[in-house]
Amino acid sequence: MEKTKQRKRGSIFQFVIEKRALALLILILVFCLAFSLVFPDTFGTLGNFSGILLNMSAEGLIVVAIVPLLIVGEIDLSLGAVMVLGSILCGRLMILDDMNMWLAILISLGVSVLCGLINGIIVAKINVVSFIATLATSMIYLGIAVMLAGTGWTDFPDPLFRTLGQGKILNIQLPVIYIIVIFIIMSLLISRTRYFRQCYYIGGNAKAAELSAINTGKTKIVLYMIASGMACISGIISAMRFNSALTSIGAGVEMRAVTAAVIGGVCFTGGAGTMAGAAMGALFVACLNNALTIASISQNMQNVITGVVLILAIVLDVVLAKKKAE
């Protein structure tokens, strides 16, 4: 009898280890079903689920940005600041300087990628701990954004700019389509391409990766540049949605992205994780926050609950790692 129970527990652990995304999807479905029964007129509606996807669209890009960095064992705490800087710069160029929308977006993207290059050089070449380096640069980037626009910009002049953030295709909001497409592309790149697969070797054992002729420094710099580019796109999508670019949009977004990624099975110390798992983690966090809001739970208590969930996810990873080693 005891051996049967152990085999069942072992099979459950094995399932969670190997099928983290699927396990999370099942958890999300059970969670949504339970809250739909409790709040059928608010949580359990098509409009609410559509709103959940829409609200996670911009921050979902930050999850996409941070996953490859976590896999190589690094982190970027400046993504929220770059998100703000990209949207603010785009707003200034379009509103104050009357610049063409596409040119303004391209310049903002270029500046943001430059921010990522700076982050990558500090971390990979100067060997400053990524937590400290990106915490410092986040202050710089956010300070520049505030100097550029004060509190922000509103009422973008180009109607196409608003349409790209507020329009729909087949009754699906465009930002939702953007995030789904980008998640799929990045998931394929990480799982199928040699360049991104080497991120796992770097995160697992950087010295061994270097001995295998992998340029770890260059790879990390490229990942920081991609991450900052994603953060800029996230900020611009937010500006398109709300027809405004505010300096408050990126507050705490990096830690929420880390929470979603870790819940989705991305190892905080590097070497493991999938984009599909991170996507499910982001969806779970979005559903949880939405349910807590509907249940009239204060924002402070929501932060406490999200923190507890993050700790439980880390503990789960530790337990699963031990089980896998056995």
Matching residue, tokens 């941070």: 66
pLDDT tens track for 12-54: 545 555 577 788 888 889 988 998 888 888 888 888 888 888 8
CA distances for 33 relative to 56, 139, 266, 297, angstroms? 20, 42, 26, 19
- Per DSSP, the chain holds a count of helices (H) and strands (E) of 14, 4
pLDDT exceeds cutoff 80 at 137 = yes
Nearest to 204 by CA among 56, 321, 83: 321
Residue type, 134: T
pLDDT tens track for 50-69: 888 888 888 889 999 999 99
Strands (E), the chain: 152-154, 168-169, 172-173, 244-246
Q: Percent of the chain beyond pLDDT 70? A: 92
pLDDT tens track for 263-283: 888 887 788 888 888 888 889
Q: 9-42 burial by CB neighbour count: b if 16+ within 10 A, else e? A: eeeebeebbeebbebbbeebeeebeebbeeeeeb
pLDDT tens track for 225-269: 999 999 999 999 999 998 888 888 877 888 888 888 988 888 877
Dist CA 259 CA 249 (whole Å): 18
